[in-house]
Structure 1
Amino acid sequence: MLISLRGKYDTYEFDLSQESHIIQKGQKFSSLYRGKRISDNSYVCVKHLHDTQCVQNSEHAHLIFITLTSIEKLDDAIIRTYDIIETEQGYFIVYEYLHGVTIKTITNTPDYPDLTTSKFACKVGIEVCKILKKLHEHGIVHRNIKPSNIFLETDDSGRISPDNPRVRLIDFEIASVHGSNIFSLNKVPFSVLYSPPEQVLYFSHLIDERSDLYSLALVVYEIATRRPSFYHENAAMLINLQINTSIQKNPRISKELFTLLLQATSKHRFSLPPNKYSQEQLEAFLDTGRSQRFQNAHDFSLALSEVFRHLNQPKTRKSRKSFFL
């Protein structure tokens, strides 16, 4: 079934019957398709928003478009937005099509051994920090830093360079600008696997640049170890791990990087379940954890750069003692 979308700036098409056109389907917030822009026959990403209330009307859609296109101007590494289109089936957002893979892909498959090391994890972290620094300086908090939202573009030869990766940041649907949502969200969704305690416990006014850095630190950890920092099949147990447990040592991650990430993910350990505390007590505890993390992307980037330089130094062989007189 061919879908044609006529936007303000172009017309776009994708085919629901073609498996190659479906990138991601059945997600709670949206579905993602590979389409084509008719004017130049180039590939685009088409996102269908499932929540019909997240865009209120055409005026709100225009404001969202202006906001997203303004955000992308802050850094070339931020995904480009081409159009927002209203149809009877709801709203569609058209983005640029990126060639490469997400961090989620490289950590979930054995196909990228050069890209799952402490050194590469540092490189990705440094690049994302550069983007976040510009966002945070303009009052923008991404609020959804996770492996599937960090994209690694291929170079001209079709490879992803372990030494100089082209990192892109995507998916700004739940981002905030000066504390306000871009989209109309009654309850801001989040990924428990990568969200800081203040986000998991719905203290939205405490979510700031340190929250993004917490999430980024968990992604860096996952790149180096090839496993999430926290995981449990029971959702309640996973929430408890996220709000009350520190990241664990892993033989795949360097000692220096682990120490840095431990600071970036600092949190207060609750001796009782959160519902046993007052809102004021919870806020004070959450603030304690936030105050011990890296306070901005610049400082986190400097620390990652220092660890990277240390890891990049050639290892010196210990001299062997002679037993001959």
Structure 2
Amino acid sequence: MGYAPQLHGHKILHGAPTAYVMEYLGHPWVSLYDLSQREDFSAKIPSSAMDRIKVAVSRVLQALESGQLVHGDLRPNNIMVELDDDGRLEDVDGVRLKIVDFDWAGKVGAVKYPLSRNEDISWPGPRGAHIQQSDDKRLFESWWPDFCTYSRQLQNTV
């Protein structure tokens, strides 16, 4: 559906991690986290674009749900957005985004949260627990309001 970088191939070698060859998301793609760290963040993301990002993420969540899939780590560092030629987040025809980092992803009920993870984050499920269908949405909703507030606070100071 175009919500992830294109997978070109993979190689499984016994005793080694699986190697994946995927589409490279360099310029003009940037993670929401990296975009938020820029000094010109408020100028690059109009507040109306924040609503479009949420709509785009909702579409991703619906696609995952319809396939009985989970991502498990849907945070700003794993959501890539495409910038225009001026380095701004386009807000005319919607927002183009792709989700990356599928280390924990898989079928609902088949994949688990790792035992070692950043415990400064309020995860929807405990370490080692199966990642549930609602967990991606719960994780997104746990950080999204603060992310939007941060964006709007920056815009009001400019």
Query: Taking structure 1 as the reference length, what is the TM-score of the superposition?
Result: 0.40
Relative contact order, higher structure (CA 8 A, sep 6+): 2
Q: Report the counterpart of residue 217 of structure 1 in structure 2.
A: 141
Q: Is residue 2:31 matched to residue 1:102?
A: yes
- The match for 2:153 is 252
Contact 2:44 2:87 in 1 (8 A): no
Indicate yes or no: 2:85 matched with 1:148. no
CA distance in 1, matches of 2:20, 2:116: 19
Which residue number in structure 1 is paired with residue 97 of structure 2?
167
- Distance in 2, matches of 1:214 and 1:76, equals 23
1:191 Cα deviation from its structure 2 partner: 4.1
Structure 1 segments unaligned to the other structure (5+ residues): 1-74, 228-250, 254-325
Change (3 A) 1:193 1:129: farther
**Structure 2 CA distance for partners of 1:192 and 1:221, relative to 1, 3 Å:** farther
Please give the per-residue CA displacement for 1:126-185, whole angstroms capped at 9, x wherever unaligned.
Answer: 10110110111111111100111100123467643144221111111101303113xxx7
- Equivalent pair of 1:151/1:167 in contact (CA under 8 Å): yes
> Does structure 1 residue 204 correspond to structure 2 residue 138?
no
Q: Distance in 1 between matches of 2:118 and 2:81?
A: 21
Matched positions, count:
150
Q: 2:3 aligns with which of 67, 73, 77?
A: 77
So what's the TM-score if we normalise by structure 2? 0.74
The alignment-based identity, stated in percent, is 21
TM-superposed CA distance for 1:222, in Å, is 4.0
The 3 A distance-change label for structure 1 pair 143 and 226 is same
What does residue range 171-210 of structure 1 map to in structure 2 within 5 Å?
171-181=101-111, 187=114, 189-196=116-123, 198-199=124-125, 201-202=126-127, 204-205=129-130, 207-210=131-134
User: What is the root-mean-square deviation of aligned Cα atoms in Å?
Assistant: 3.1
CA distance in 2, matches of 1:83, 1:142: 20
Q: Which has the larger radius of gyration?
A: 1
2:40 to 108, 111, 121: 111
Tell me the distance in 2 between the aligned counterparts of 1:186 and 1:127. 25
Unaligned runs of 5+ in 2: none
The equivalent residue for 1:136 is 65
